A = this chain, B = another copy of it.
Amino acid sequence: MAATMKDIARRTGLGLATISSYFNGGNVREKNRIKIEEAIEELHYEVNEVARGLKTNATRTIGVVIPELNNTFCAEIITGMEDVLRSHGYATIVCDCRTDKKLEREAVEFLIRRRVDGIINMPVDEEGNHLKRFQKMGKPIVLIDRKIQGIDCDSVLVDNKKAAEDAVRYFIGRGHRNIGIIGGPEEVFTAQERMAGYYKALESAGIPVRESLIWHGDYTIQGGVRGLEELVQNNPEMTAVFVTNYEMTMGAMIGVNELGIRIPEQLSMIGFDNLQFARACNPKLTIVAQPTDGIAREVAKVMLNHLENAGETSGELFSEKLETEIIAGKSVRVLA
- Residues of chain A touching chain B, judged by Cβ–Cβ distance below 8 Å, are 46-51, 53-54, 59, 61, 68-70, 72, 75-76, 78-79, 82-83, 86, 91-96, 110, 112-115, 221, 250-251, 253-254, 256-258, 276-277, 279-284
Contact B46 A112 (CB under 8 A): yes
Task: Please tell me which one of the listed residues B59, B70, B91 contacts residue A76 in the complex, with CB atoms under 8 A apart.
Answer: B70
Cβ-closest chain B residue relative to A70: B79
A-B contact pairs, 17 of them (CB 8 A): A49-B114, A50-B54, A51-B54, A61-B93, A69-B75, A70-B79, A82-B96, A86-B95, A91-B93, A92-B94, A94-B94, A250-B276, A253-B280, A253-B282, A257-B280, A257-B283, A277-B280
Shortest C-beta distance, A330 to chain B (Å), equals: 9
CA distance A82 to B95 in the complex (A): 8
Query: What secondary structure prevails in chain A residues at the interface with B?
Result: helix
Shortest C-beta distance, A118 to chain B (Å), equals: 15
Contact B93 A110 (CB under 8 A): no
Contact A254 B283 (CB under 8 A): no
User: Which residues of B sit under 8 angstroms from A277, Cβ to Cβ?
Assistant: 250, 277, 280
Contact A50 B46 (CB under 8 A): no
CA distance A258 to B329 in the complex (A): 11
Shortest C-beta distance, A253 to chain B (Å), equals: 4
Contact A79 B54 (CB under 8 A): no
CA distance A54 to B46 in the complex (A): 14
Considering the complex of A and B, which 5 residue pairs feature the smallest CB-CB distances, nearest first?
A: A253-B280, A254-B279, A282-B282, A47-B113, A50-B53
User: Which residues of B sit under 8 angstroms from A92, Cβ to Cβ?
Assistant: 93-94
Shortest C-beta distance, A296 to chain B (Å), equals: 11
CA distance A78 to B82 in the complex (A): 15
Cβ-closest chain B residue relative to A80: B70
Contact A276 B254 (CB under 8 A): yes
User: Which residues of B sit under 8 angstroms from A47, Cβ to Cβ?
Assistant: 113
Q: Given the interface contacts A78-B69, A96-B82, does A276 sit within 8 Å of B91 by beta carbon?
A: no
Contact B113 A46 (CB under 8 A): yes
Cβ-closest chain B residue relative to A77: B70
Task: Give the interface centre of A50, A94, A258 by most chain B CB atoms within 10 Å.
Answer: A50
Contact A110 B96 (CB under 8 A): no
Contact B110 A91 (CB under 8 A): yes
User: Which residues of B sit under 8 angstroms from A253, Cβ to Cβ?
Assistant: 280, 282
Contact A59 B50 (CB under 8 A): yes
User: Which residues of B sit under 8 angstroms from A59, Cβ to Cβ?
Assistant: 50
User: Which residues of B sit under 8 angstroms from A54, Cβ to Cβ?
Assistant: 50-51, 54
User: Which residues of B sit under 8 angstroms from A46, Cβ to Cβ?
Assistant: 112-113
Cβ-closest chain B residue relative to A51: B54
Given contacts A70-B72, A257-B283, A258-B279, 20 further A-B contacts (CB under 8 A): A47-B113, A48-B115, A49-B113, A49-B114, A49-B115, A50-B59, A50-B114, A50-B115, A69-B75, A69-B82, A70-B76, A82-B95, A86-B95, A91-B114, A221-B276, A250-B276, A250-B277, A251-B276, A256-B282, A257-B279
User: Which residues of B sit under 8 angstroms from A53, Cβ to Cβ?
Assistant: 50
User: Which residues of B sit under 8 angstroms from A96, Cβ to Cβ?
Assistant: 79, 82-83
